[in-house]
Structure formats: C-alpha cells, structure tokens
Amino acid sequence: MIFFSTKEEARKITKKKLEQENLGKLKPKIHHGNFDKYKFDRENFIEELSTIEEGQTINWTSMARKHNFKNLNNKMPLNSGQILMAYAKEQAPKTFITTTINKEGNLIEKTKTVYGRKIPLKEILEKENHRLHTAGVLRVNTDEYYDKLTQPELDKCLTNLQENHHCNSNTETKRNILKAIQRSRNIKVWHVHSDILSHTYINFMISYMYDSANFLTSKEYLERNPTIKDIDIQKIVERPQLYILGQSGKNSTT
C-alpha cells in the first residue's frame, strides 16, 4: 500500500526539517558532488546574481538553462536548478542599508546584502592559461621540439636560464630538466586587510609570476609581432585576479 502526503502536510514536514537544519539538529542533505564536476558560464552567472535584489524570486532551473549548466557527460542534470542554487549560496552575508531619493523626491531606504567570495584556484588558473595563451605570450613547446634539440642547443637553453650547472649531465637528463623548468609556472598571492567603517575586510589576489622560462620576453614578442610598437609582457602575465574577498563582523576580534 502506498501513502501520499497532502500539500499542506508536505509543507509542514519541509518547514520542520528546515528549522532543524538551521538549528544544527539535522544535517542537511547534499544533492550535488564537487562543483568542479559541472560546466557552466560561472563568470556571467555570478555577475547576473550580483544584480538580483534581495528577496527577488529566482527560477533556478531556467537560470541553469540560460548559463548552459552541464555535467561531465555534457548533459543537463535533472536537479540542475538545485545544484546551481547550492553553488550560489553565499558565504558570510552582511546587510547594508543605503538611502536614495526617488522620482517623487522622497527619501527611501534600500537594503543590499554583500557576501564573501572564494573563487576556486583551479578555475582561476584555467582562465589565466586561456587568457595568456590567447595573448600569445606563453612559451609552449611540444615533446617533439625538445626531442630535436641537440646537445649544444640544450646547453645554450640551460645557460640562458642560469641552469648551466646541469650542462655536465647526459643529453636525456638535460632534455628532461629543460622540459620541467619551462613547463612549471609559479604563482604568487597578494593580500591586504583594511578597516572601513568598523568592518575588517580581507582581500586575496593571485597571479602567475613572470619568468622568461615560461613566457616570452617583450623583445621576443615584438619580433614575432612587428606591427606592435611597445609592450610589457610581465605586466600582462602578472595581472592580479580576485581569489578571496570577505568581511568580518562589526565586533569581530579576529
């Protein structure tokens, strides 16, 4: 025998469940896996989300379709709206009250909620790799390129990279060392803490570190692109990207 709950009973059950979850008495179910396993236009989604007023109704399934939400099998999950809503769940909410004058000349108050953000490092680096590859500043060589390098050419490359202490190694070792150096990129993190209106803000920015082993020099780039008069490759490479942005409570001591 199968029993069904009425809509009113279902509402009561759901309400009670949510209250228990909010009180920490019940662990909420997770209806999704790692967000990295899903593909969608994250940047435009976050941008659109920031324009939505507090309390505004959102059709998450429609938004999932709009931003081409897919899993690793390139299919839209049946609970795509639910997953997208979980992804959009903001961290450390802070509500601000602002005043503005409407068309009638009356002073009105508006509330705006700001949330902390942590953008996945993998996502940042993937976008940076695409940006720098498109800009044509990456030093990308195939395995075939390294295999064709002669011993004198390997010695010259290692010397230019100030790795000439490897020049006494055998050819295969030098080839692998050069390949490892030119395919390993370093990243740097810059952070700042500031107090504004009794609130402490924390901001982490991230970028690749320029190294001629991984990126073209400005001279090399200009030789390949003679129509360009001047360029600063290091400035292009080390353009900072937002990693973490958050705000502490007014009375926070940490």
Nearest CA to 72 among 26, 21, 127, 33? 33
254 pLDDT higher than 70? no
Summarize pLDDT for 24-55 with one digit per residue, the tens: 666 666 667 777 788 888 777 877 776 766 66
Alpha helices, H only, the chain: 7-22, 42-50, 60-66, 80-87, 121-135, 143-148, 151-160, 171-182, 218-224, 233-237
Q: What is the mean pLDDT of residues 102-120?
A: 72
Give percent above pLDDT 70 in the chain.
77
CB 214 within 8 A of CB 236: no
pTM of the full structure:
0.54
Residue-averaged pLDDT of the chain: 81
Whole-angstrom distance between the N-terminal and C-terminal Cα of the chain?
57
Summarize pLDDT for 122-147 with one digit per residue, the tens: 888 988 999 999 999 999 899 999 99
Give percent above pLDDT 90 in the chain.
30
* Residue 174 or residue 198, greater confidence: 174
Cβ neighbours of residue 228 under 8 Å, at least 6 residues apart?
221, 222
* Residue 26 or residue 82, greater confidence: 82
Nearest CA to 246 among 96, 93, 25, 84? 93
Kindly report the three-state secondary structure assignment for every residue of 44-99: HHHHHHHCCCCCCCCCHHHHHHHCCCECCCCCCCCCHHHHHHHHCCCEEEEEEEEE
CA atoms within 13 A on the CB side of 171: 8
154 pLDDT higher than 80? yes
2 pLDDT higher than 70? no
CB 213 within 8 A of CB 161: yes
CA separation for the pair 35, 32 (Å, rounded) = 8
pLDDT category at 79 given cuts 50, 70, 90 is confident
161 φψ region: left (φ > 0), alpha (ψ -120 to 50), beta (else): alpha
CA atoms within 13 A on the CB side of 157: 20
